[in-house]
Amino acid sequence: MMRRPTPRANPRRRGLRAQTVGLVLMLRAVWMSASLVVMADTSNVPHPKPPVAKTQEHRSIWHGESVDDPWFWLREKTNPEVISYLEAENAYMEASTVQAKAFGESLYKEMLGRIQQTDLSVPVRRGAYDYYSRTEEGRQYAIHCRRKVSPDGASDPKAAEEVLLDLNLLAQGHSFLGLGGFETSDSGTSLLYSTDVTGFRQYTLYRKDLATGKTSAPLAERVTSFEWSADGAFVLYTTEDSVTKRSNQLWRLALEGGRPEMVLEEKDELFGLGLGRTKDHQWFVCSSQSTDTWDQRILSTSDPKGAFRPVLPREKGHKYDLEHREGVLFFRTNKDAKNFRLVSALVAEPGRWTEVIAHRADVLLKGLEVFREHLVVAEQKEALTHLRIQNKNSAHWVEVDFPEPVYSAHATGTPELGAKAFRLTYQSMATPQGVYDCDLATGRLTLLKRTPVLGGYDPSGYVTERRWVTARDNTRVPLSIVYKKGVKLDGSAPCFLYGYGSYGLGMDASFSIARLSLVERGMVFVIAHIRGGDELGEAWHDDGMLMHKKNTFTDFVDCGEWLVKNRISAPDRLVIEGGSAGGLLMGAVVNLRPDLFRAVHSAVPFVDVINTMMDASLPLTVGEYLEWGNPNEKPAFDYMRSYSPYDNLKPGAYPAMLVTTGLNDSQVMYWEPAKYVAKLRTLKTDARPLLLKCNMGAGHGGASGRYDRLKEVSFEYAWLMTQVGITR
């Protein structure tokens, strides 16, 4: 699942396809204590036996019922027996996937051969500099740089490059490196950045003097967001609780000899704090958000020692965010507007609204970007994003045109308030991502760069289309599909079906270089835009959460059945994948229809729903009661228990399954997939593989280095393809 993220970090996305870091297996697990596992010597037999986790009584009393969980002990991360068990699973996985591993190595070379390894991003103007990142062949991480613009304001490619942050240097001595945030001061003389070196999404904040190149000692730990004051003398930042990882405190630090001062604390466990600034840099905005309620406090960036003031009173069910321009606040609000509307108000009178965009039942207002003379809004209709522009002196809106019927488009953020064009990306499942400038006056697009795909890739050789599935309750569910021209849709093609469906996070119909290795081999790739996301508006999320969560699972099953009925594929040719909250989806649909799918990749899966959601001490749990339900309430408990994958395993045949996790996962703890696999081993009656792959040096998102991550993907794709007979 995607358990919700902190404001700057990713949610416990117990979901979106996020995965983690490279791992060297320790084969000493083969010889570990027989009291923990029983495992054959694999050196003399062709088929190794899987490890068998010991069982140990552990009883919980839930609503008067005593429930035994014999694999509960796998939560003991510091217990050597737990580590030994995970290593034994890794060793078994290695011994069981010799063919897939060799195929994966071949795929890795193929995928890498399509990537321009030494590359440069399109520069973004901020003040007197163009900022960009670049990669170098053979190096895992990006290098963040800038160049000074010429006196007339034009980009100057001949100006000396200034390296701001070389992540390859920061990663030395670490198996993992995550960059949490990266902000230069308004003067351009200092840099704030935060890093995580474990994969646990626990970030340390640093300051770098860009004149001397010297980096400070850590300014703060467990930092979730941060911003500069206007004069660069103060840093404001939010931190998370050390146990629950809830972002709950806002701090102020004077950089010259000051001590951190707590500015405010969010005591309601359903809410988390995040800090930002308005685009014009005039206001700090401290957001406090729960699933169904958002509120904002503001403070002038020129008065960092002042007190934040609420913009509007907190009101249960009211969600809003804001931007600012010339004394006017723009609110994206759901007040009397399920799919949000846009209103404006003077800073001095934030409760007196003027409507800018009225609510529409069939259009979701997703975002707003302000410019000195224009507004840009992102809206979603029928699972497609539309971008519109308005001149502040006109009521007329200009819509940006995109050429394909199924695509992904996003405004990426243009820092300069006075810009004449805004930056966006456009791609489809067949068209590689392009970076564009869009003229604010006309909506005309100028392509600045398209992601290169080496080896002569031609988008016209592929078909991408939108199909609609009628679910069992007559709800229409969209599918995004891509396949190679010439593939016969007669039931013989292998098919890869992906889904997520949680937290109101819709899935994009985006391009993937790695995915070409599937499609080139005749696979049909499909994204099921099931309920629980936001592809069809806020109601789409509502219909896939709380006491409607099972719609997410039945939608996915209905999509799989549609693919079979319409001869896109067949059950013995259909593989599925989901991660985090999407891993919950995988577990639920396999329990519902194990006969419908040939193989499953379940990544960092949220499968032990009841144990996790009954434990308020775990990261992110209490804040997610509003997404999943509070199991301390009997009706919610009964409903959640009825779909929890771990609690609904039963004897029978299951698809082939690869379950991946990370030892340092803070969103979905490693023990959920470990317990799930251990229990399923005792129940499955078929001979299909059941594998657990635990990255011992990463967390929820998989490997942090680009080459390491690609190796993980290539193995996962190779394993899924071998299950449907594709071995080269």
Q: Report pLDDT digits (tens) over 664-702.
A: 999 999 999 999 999 999 999 999 999 999 999 999 999
- What pLDDT was estimated at residue 311? 98
Q: How confident is the model at residue 31 (pLDDT cuts 50, 70, 90)?
A: very low
Task: Judge whether residue 118 has pLDDT over 60.
Answer: yes
Task: Please give the Cα distance from 97 to 719 (Å, whole number).
Answer: 8
Within a 13 Å sphere around the CA of 726, how many CA atoms are in the beta-carbon half?
26
Task: Judge whether residue 542 has pLDDT over 70.
Answer: yes
Largest CA distance in the chain: 80
Task: Judge whether residue 17 has pLDDT over 50.
Answer: no
Query: What number of H helices and E strands is found in the chain?
Result: 12, 38
Summarised one tens digit per residue, pLDDT across range 503-513 is: 999 999 999 99
Q: Specify whether the CB–CB gap between 699 and 198 falls below 8 A.
A: yes
Task: Please give the Cα distance from 255 to 257 (Å, whole number).
Answer: 6
Summarised one tens digit per residue, pLDDT across range 420-450 is: 999 999 999 999 999 999 999 999 999 999 9
Q: Determine the straight-line distance between the first and last CA of the chain, rounded to whole angstroms.
A: 32
Give the H/E segment covering residue 540. helix 538-542
Phi, psi (deg, nearest 5) at residue 39: -145, 130
Q: In degrees to the nearest 10, what's the CA dihedral of 154, 160, 166, 169?
A: 180
Kindly report the length of the chain.
Answer: 728
- What pLDDT was estimated at residue 46? 54
Summarised one tens digit per residue, pLDDT across range 389-417 is: 999 999 899 999 999 999 999 999 999 99
DSSP for 185-213, written as a single string? -TTSSEEEEEEESSSS---EEEEEETTT-
Instruction: Kindly state the tokens that stand for 338.
Output: 């399920």
Task: Judge whether residue 713 has pLDDT over 70.
Answer: yes
Q: Specify whether the CB–CB gap between 111 and 710 falls below 8 A.
A: yes
Summarised one tens digit per residue, pLDDT across range 587-599 is: 999 999 999 999 9
- What pLDDT was estimated at residue 463? 97
Where residue 164 falls (left for φ over 0; alpha for ψ -120 to 50; beta otherwise) is alpha
- What pLDDT was estimated at residue 580? 97
Catalytic residue IDs: 580, 665, 700
Task: Please give the Cα distance from 138 to 553 (Å, whole number).
Answer: 41
Average pLDDT along the chain: 93
Task: Please give the Cα distance from 461 to 520 (Å, whole number).
Answer: 10
- What pLDDT was estimated at residue 156? 87
Q: How confident is the model at residue 620 (pLDDT cuts 50, 70, 90)?
A: confident
Task: Judge whether residue 47 has pLDDT over 80.
Answer: no
Q: Specify whether the CB–CB gap between 600 and 586 falls below 8 A.
A: yes
Q: Specify whether the CB–CB gap between 493 and 523 falls below 8 A.
A: yes
Summarised one tens digit per residue, pLDDT across range 261-313 is: 999 999 999 999 999 999 999 999 999 999 999 999 999 999 999 999 999 99
As a whole number, mean pLDDT of residues 14-34 equals 27
DSSP for 326-342, written as a single string? TTEEEEEE-TT-TT-EE
Task: Judge whether residue 150 has pLDDT over 50.
Answer: yes
Q: Name 134's bridge partners.
A: 120, 143
Summarised one tens digit per residue, pLDDT across range 93-115 is: 999 999 999 999 999 999 999 99
As a whole number, mean pLDDT of residues 8-24 equals 30
Domains of the chain (ranges plus CATH)?
120-400 (2.130.10.120), 464-722 (3.40.50.1820)
Task: Judge whether residue 7 has pLDDT over 70.
Answer: no
Is 548 strand, coil or helix?
A: helix
Q: Tell me which of 208 and 21 has the higher pLDDT.
A: 208
Q: Specify whether the CB–CB gap between 544 and 664 falls below 8 A.
A: no
- Percent pLDDT > 70 in the chain is 94
Q: Specify whether the CB–CB gap between 437 and 400 falls below 8 A.
A: no
Query: DSSP assignment, residue 696?
Result: T
Task: Please give the Cα distance from 466 to 655 (Å, whole number).
Answer: 28
Amino acid making up residue 695: N
Nearest to 178 by CA among 7, 14, 285, 18: 18
Phi, psi (deg, nearest 5) at residue 9: -85, 170
Q: In degrees to the nearest 10, what's the CA dihedral of 168, 170, 173, 176?
A: -80
DSSP for 374-413, written as a single string? EEEEEEEETTEEEEEEEETT-S-EEEPP-SSSS-EEEE--
Amino acid making up residue 507: M
Task: Please give the Cα distance from 235 to 594 (Å, whole number).
Answer: 53
- Percent pLDDT > 90 in the chain is 92
Amino acid making up residue 429: M
Q: CB 483: neighbour CB atoms within 10 A? A: 24
Q: Specify whether the CB–CB gap between 438 and 444 falls below 8 A.
A: yes
Summarised one tens digit per residue, pLDDT across range 300-347 is: 999 999 999 999 999 999 999 999 999 999 999 999 999 999 999 999
Task: Please give the Cα distance from 203 to 9 (Å, whole number).
Answer: 9
Task: Judge whether residue 24 has pLDDT over 70.
Answer: no
Q: In what order do the strands lie in the sheet with 190-196?
A: 178-184, 190-196, 204-209
Residues 6 or more apart whose Cβ sits within 8 Å of residue 493 = 483, 487, 522, 523, 524, 568, 569, 573
Summarised one tens digit per residue, pLDDT across range 561-577 is: 999 999 999 999 999 99
Amino acid making up residue 182: F
Q: Specify whether the CB–CB gap between 480 and 509 falls below 8 A.
A: yes
Nearest to 83 by CA among 41, 23, 140, 12: 23
Q: In degrees to the nearest 10, what's the CA dihedral of 411, 415, 416, 417?
A: 70
Task: Judge whether residue 22 has pLDDT over 50.
Answer: no
Summarised one tens digit per residue, pLDDT across range 341-394 is: 999 999 999 999 999 999 999 999 999 999 999 999 999 999 999 999 999 999
Amino acid making up residue 358: A
Task: Please give the Cα distance from 277 to 10 (Å, whole number).
Answer: 19
Amino acid making up residue 430: A
As a whole number, mean pLDDT of residues 209-220 equals 96
- What pLDDT was estimated at residue 609? 98
Q: Name 234's bridge partners.
A: 254
